[in-house]
A and B are shown apart, each in its own frame.
Chain A
Amino acid sequence: MANGTIAIDDKSFLEEGTTKKATGIASWLFSTDHKRIGLMYLIAIAIFFFTGAILGVLMRLELIAPGRTIMDAQTYNTIFTLHGVIMIFLFIIPGIPAVFGNFFLPLQLGAKDVAFPRLNLLSFWIYLIGAALVLISLFVEGGPIDTGWTFYIPYSVRTTTNVSLAIFAAFVLGFSSILTGLNFVTTVHRLRAPGMTYFKMPLFVWSTYATAWIQIIATPVIGITILLVVLERLFGVGIFDPALGGDPVLFQHMFWIYSHPAVYIMILPAMGVVSEIIPTFARRTIFGYRAIAMSSLAIAFIGYLVWAHHMFTSGISETAAIIFSFLTFIVALPSAIKVFNWVATMYKGSIDPQPPFLWVMSFIFLFSIGGLTGLVLGALVTDVHVHDTYFVVAHFHYVMFGGTGTIFFAALYYWFPKMTGKMYNLKLAKFNAALFFVAFNTLYFPKFIMGYMGMPRRYYDYLPEFQNLQVVSTVGSWLMIIVICLIIYNLLSGLLNGSKAEANPWGGVTLEWHIASPPPLENFHEIPEVTHEPYDFSQLKNMKYGLKGESK
């Protein structure tokens, strides 16, 4: 703390903030405490996720029958664009790093905060400004953006909707992402507790670290690309406009140079959470620790070199297409290494199927389907057939929602007792996880079939032969919104009326389980000395908060 003194008492970070004068909501909005910032991100991101989900349900409702159902075509265009922009830029990219990374990275490293706490608060504020710009762009003259979340040129230069403001919001959000990334990298390098060598760091830290590097290296490229599109719209500089000699395909290259690594920004932290949850509930050290840690870095690195697989039908040379297809197959390897190691960890473990673990089981199944259909898209011949169809939409939702989204819920259920000190209804949470699995497959699996049959993505209308599958998918969207409401209900009622959670309800051994729930303001009264491997469960019986909270 700046004044050099802190009080040692039993107050948690929820009761005691970093701000001396401010109270009430201001003591949150101006707090530099990484835990409060993480929770504020959680609230903001949950609101945007729910908004995006509602937009998705509206889209599905429109598609329940051919022709016009509840909205006109232009509204449909803006709704699928907003669904994409909100889900990608406001939910899934910041999602796990901003919420759980902020909250648990310093805890798992044995640090009192991130390296730059004030910069961390600034990132949050920049995130809010970006989100506000997106909202403003909906209501000012010109109308909401209708280009799809990829903002492809030349349409994004020609359309009269509020493209400039909406994509400038993406630029601002990118800034927030960069600052969070450099904060995390510095934190990992400088603030590890004594004894915590790189290969004693928990795997969530490893994957967040790899993610932070992608945020630093990839995000500036989308920043400059977006600025060029805005300048193109304002002044007609001609960089991407074919009428002035510019090259629209160059835009696609620059867009995907960021946006492909960005899908690894979305999935890598989720993989880190999986690597935390599986050992805890299998009560067994992780299988292949180094392979999992290094595969995170491998994904971060190879993930840069595959962007043009989004452009196989955009008119790139055959040689380039073959090389990018090959590299795309290579990038599947580190993901597969992780999946095999997770499954191997469970072998002969003493598995305790609590809610977070059940979510992870869903994840492994859904993510594997998503990953394998990714190979269908990465192969040149099949890609030409299913490009720009529902098959791509289904693949993307299986990896992103089935992957990262599922793990976002898993992480919530895993760390909720630590973050709030309260416990939710376990039975309802298990029912949640099961219903989610059913809802998810009902919603998205028909899209694989429709895509294979030739249903193009983003279409407002369709041929009658697709209707049965469209109806199944729409019913799935209703189930999904019920699941989301149940999760929100379960967590909120846990927060308000739940029983007090034990400090270590799952029997975890990483550093966040060594302290009280919710953690005190400065996390550790004394910086811990790390002597164990991260998933060494032999230390459980000697921990202050052993299994089931039996305090020593």
Chain B
Amino acid sequence: MSNPTELTHAPHRDDVGARMGMWLFLFTELLLFGGLFLVYAVYRHEYYSQFRVAALELNLSIGALNTVILLTSSLTVALSIGALQKGQKHLSVMLLLITDILALAFMVNKYFEWSTKIHHGIYPGSEHLLNLPDGQILFYGLYYIMTGLHALYIIIGLVFLTIVLGFVITGSVNKDSYVKLENAGLYWHLVDLIWIFLFPLFYLIQ
């Protein structure tokens, strides 16, 4: 083998491996939130009645609206994968755009919800909050951390989806090679799934 020769082979591609890596990553994200659910469980147990009182202050209709928005966006991203698999690129792009818009709508709602709270003087470290009982301080602390971190996930998911949207438009993600879109969809479903637990924990259980 002293004479250099050329060897040609197909570029390495492993869709199953890529999906597996994504699932493992989602698993770590769930465990990250798992830590927060653990903290929530401990303090709900310790400050049962205070958590009830504080939860009544949350705006149930905004929460419900956001749940509907997020569930719908999960549907549209799933449909866009199906559309791409059937070769309907235009439809797939439209559905991804709708997903992006729904994600933005979620963030707008979140902005109004948080700013109302902050306007009422309820935010970590505020004088009003520090005068409330310990259980309520913890409830709002967890409320801001958990929904805030979830909002950060929404933003990351939005960026992820938009990048893949670009790939679909340029054609590098297409009918035969769509694992990137699938992975973006998986991430988006995770964001949705976490919200499905956050919504009852903060808004519904009283």
Contact = CB atoms under 8 A, between A and B. Distances in A.
Given A8-B5, A186-B17, A217 B31 contact: yes
A119 B17 CA distance: 13
Contacts of B125: 235-237
Interface of A: 1-10, 112, 115-116, 119, 178, 181-183, 185-186, 189-191, 216-217, 219-221, 223-225, 227-228, 231, 235-239, 244-247, 250, 254, 525
B17 A190 contact: yes
Contact of A224 (B2, B20, B32): B32
B24 A216 contact: yes
Nearest to A3: B11
Contact of A8 (B4, B20, B32, B124): B4
A254 B11 contact: no
B119 interface: no
24 contacts: A4-B11, A5-B7, A5-B8, A6-B6, A7-B6, A9-B4, A119-B21, A182-B21, A185-B20, A190-B20, A221-B31, A224-B33, A231-B124, A231-B145, A235-B124, A237-B141, A238-B138, A244-B134, A244-B137, A244-B141, A245-B43, A245-B133, A245-B134, A250-B42
Nearest to B30: A220
Contacts of A224: 32-33, 35-36
Interface of B: 1-2, 4-12, 14, 16-18, 20-21, 24-25, 27-29, 31-36, 38-39, 42-43, 46-47, 124-125, 130, 133-135, 137-138, 141-142, 144-145, 149
A547 B34 CA distance: 52
Contacts of A115: 14, 17, 21
Given A182-B25, A239-B142, 10 more contacts: A4-B8, A6-B6, A8-B7, A10-B1, A185-B24, A221-B31, A235-B124, A238-B138, A239-B39, A525-B1
B35 A244 contact: no
Contacts of B39: 228, 239, 250, 254
Contacts of B38: 254
Nearest to A225: B35
Contact of A220 (B29, B47, B138, B145): B29
B47 A4 contact: no
A189 B14 CA distance: 12
A186 B135 contact: no
A35 B142 CA distance: 44
A122 to B, nearest CB: 12
B179 to A, nearest CB: 12
A252 B167 CA distance: 45
Contacts of A8: 1, 4-7
A396 to B, nearest CB: 25
Contacts of A246: 138
A149 B75 CA distance: 46
B12 to A, nearest CB: 8
Q: Which of B32, B33, B125 has the most CB of A within 10 A?
A: B32
A190 B16 contact: yes
Nearest to A2: B11
Nearest to B5: A8
A8 B32 CA distance: 45
A3 B9 CA distance: 9
Contacts of A254: 35, 38-39
Contact of B137 (A189, A216, A245): A245
B42 A216 contact: no
A11 to B, nearest CB: 9
Q: Which 7 A-B pairs have the closest CB atoms?
A: A245-B134, A237-B141, A224-B35, A220-B31, A220-B32, A9-B4, A235-B124
Given A236-B125, A239-B138, A245-B138, A4 B9 contact: yes
